[in-house]
Homo-oligomer: A and B are copies of this chain.
Amino acid sequence: MAWDQSLCRQIAGSDFDRLFPNGIRYQTREAGVALFHQGQPFDQVLIIRSGWVLTYKVFQDGQRQIIRFALPGDLIGFEGDDTSGMAYTAEALSDVTLCSFKRSLFYGVCSSSPQMAMNFAAAVTREALAAWNHVGALGQQSAMGRVANLLLDLHRRAVAQCGADGPAVRLPINQIHIADATGLTSVHVCRTLKQMKLERLLEFGKGQLVLLDPERLAEIAQLDPEVELYQPPLAVA
């Protein structure tokens, strides 16, 4: 199942041209470009087809909190209402290609296609689950636990996307991203990573992550073996 033109054609059938009068537009954005800004209205829903997107909240004191690293198959901007401001900023972390819908159109299509609507609900459910895990890590875990949580999650998702090319995985992030996602300072992230490297848990540098001891990392992250954390996103054909 995929969030792409062929799926939409399949679902919509002969109604496709009525439902998508302008077809489905694909866009590309360069790394570092903002897709929309916190506090400003935005009337589209974005589906990531390739690349990584970052969402974060900015606070008055200039601090930012990274909410989510979004990968292909993930939905962005589904929660607005076209008039009030978005709750966060979204920014391309790498070069990305996106599939964009006017939100009203997207909702309309979902309302007339239960299959689309359930696809949508499933995507939002994944977001909620991920956010709850994030809340748990930020609320109850030490610096090392938070970093372990984040890197295990990113590793899992990156491997699911690209497959593992050996033990090393490429992540387009630096220590500052880790700091802003875990609620730590980059200084302390540096010290924590150094400690984790000393304990032969992982290596991280130059956008490369190697998990040396995934089992102990999972312990440190206090992952619950009973709970299946990972819900794969819909494939993007």
Contacts and interface: CB of A to CB of B under 8 A. Distances in A.
A43 to B, nearest CB: 15
A68 B121 CA distance: 19
Contacts of A81: 228
Interface stretch (A13-21, A57-65, A169-177): A57-65
* Copies of this chain: 2
Interface string A110-141: 11111101101100110111011111101111
Nearest to A39: B226
A88 interface: yes
Nearest to A61: B222
Contact of A87 (B113, B138, B227): B227
A18 to B, nearest CB: 16
Given A111-B114, A117-B114, A128-B131, A183 B140 contact: yes
Contacts of A222: 59-61
B226 A40 contact: yes
Contacts of A87: 129, 132-133, 224, 227, 229
A26 interface: no
B88 A132 contact: yes
Interface in A68-87: 68, 78-79, 81, 84-87
B65 A135 contact: yes
Nearest to A85: B226
A181 B132 CA distance: 12
B79 A129 contact: yes
A128 to B, nearest CB: 4
A180 B136 CA distance: 10
A36 interface: no
A38 interface: yes
A62 B48 CA distance: 38
B129 A118 contact: no
Closest 9 CB pairs of A and B: A139-B183, A131-B131, A39-B226, A117-B117, A85-B226, A84-B228, A138-B138, A65-B139, A121-B121
Given A131-B135, A138-B183, 8 more contacts: A38-B227, A84-B228, A85-B224, A88-B132, A112-B114, A117-B121, A128-B131, A134-B135
12 contacts: A59-B136, A65-B136, A84-B228, A85-B228, A87-B224, A110-B118, A111-B114, A111-B115, A127-B128, A138-B138, A139-B181, A139-B182
